[in-house]
Amino acid sequence: MTDPVIVIHGGAWAIPERLVDVNISGVEDAARKGWGVLGKSGSALDAVVAAVKALEDNPVFDAGIGSVLTEDGTVEMDAMIMDGSSLGAGAVAGLHDIRHPVDLARIVMERTPHVLMIGDGARRLAEKYKVEKLTQKQLVTEEARRELAEWLEKKRAGTAFGHETVGAVALDAKGNLAAATSTGGMTGKLVGRVGDVPIVGSGGYADNKLGGASSTGHGEAIMKVNLARLVLTHVEAGALIQEATDRALAYMMERVAGTGGVIALDPKGNVGHSYTTPHMVWATARNGKIESGI
């Protein structure tokens, strides 16, 4: 038996003062939802899904409702999930009308022989398994519109901008690890742009032998260094989990001038979290106790 734990992030970026409280209460609520599963001997997979769904429903975060907008003002969401016991993985990209993209990623993992699905195939799968839908109107928030207007004005392409991605990594009592990440991507992205989140090893990774990780930040940079797997590569080479998250982000900065954040757990439940942005909002739940920071 291991002591279960879940760690959550709600994005790494320059979180304005006016949004600090809602960010913290949002990740704490997600940690509580994840703990609600783990504390009753539930699985790490169910815990990360419960936590990420809470964040997808919270308009404060860039996932599900509240997703940031493409330069055309539309929503295109990506998500991934990974099961550390089997290295099973599922991911979806470019979704327009799904309330909980993480649910569809899990369906890809558990009900298809594939890992990543997009477009018409993802839409058909959502229909087949009756995944809950929302219209673009229901997904788009005033804040997302405001951010796009500001972005269009400043044309600040290429840097982490606006509110961001969510993710969770959990370890259950059986020693199984799982990771899940969900996002609307980056404000002002081109239509059809897919970021790091659905790329296994970039947006998230879980392997019972090494640990689990979930990333946030500049997707184009994260993909180039496979950030989540890079954390675990450092663990494999003997680093402690906090050293591993620090080193992976330092490498991303050094090699591709990319900023972001990552949360991680090792197989014993030790937590690592690092970021190279001004803030990253995070929370953990262990023994029913919630801790958070920004």
> What amino acid positions are annotated as catalytic residues?
165
Segment contacting ligand ASP by CB under 6 A, of 41-49, 137-145, 181-189, 282-290: 181-189
C-alpha span between 166 and 206 (Å, rounded)? 16
Structure tokens at 119: 């477009």
CB of 190 vs ligand ASP, minimal distance in Å: 12
Residues paired with 79 in a beta bridge: 92, 182
Structure tokens at 264: 């991680």
- The residue whose two tokens read 């290429």 is 158
Is position 147 an interface residue for ligand ASP (rule: CB under 6 A)?
no
Examine residue 292 and tell whether it contacts ligand ASP (CB under 6 A).
no
Tell me if 105 sits within 8 A of 121, measured CB to CB: no
* Binding range to ligand ASP, per CB under 6 A, among 21-29, 116-124, 139-147, 192-200: 192-200
Contact with ligand ASP (CB under 6 A): which of 4, 11, 34, 66? Answer: 11
In the complex, the smallest distance separating the C-beta of residue 128 from ligand ASP, rounded to whole angstroms, is 26
Please list every residue from 202 through 221 that binds ligand ASP, using CB under 6 A.
216-217, 219
Does the footprint of ligand ASP cover residue 195 (CB under 6 A)?
yes
| Closest among 46, 32, 115 to 79, alpha carbons compared | 115
Give the count of alpha carbons within 13 A of 178, CB side only: 28
The SS3 assignment for 208 reads: coil
* Residue from the set 58, 67, 85, 165 that interacts with ligand ASP by CB under 6 A: 165
Q: Per-residue x/- mask for ligand ASP, residues 50 to 79, rule CB under 6 A? A: ------------x-----------------
Beta bridge partners of 88: 83
- Which one-letter DSSP state was computed for residue 133? B
Binding site for ligand ASP (CB under 6 A): 11, 62, 164-165, 183, 185-186, 195-197, 216-217, 219, 222
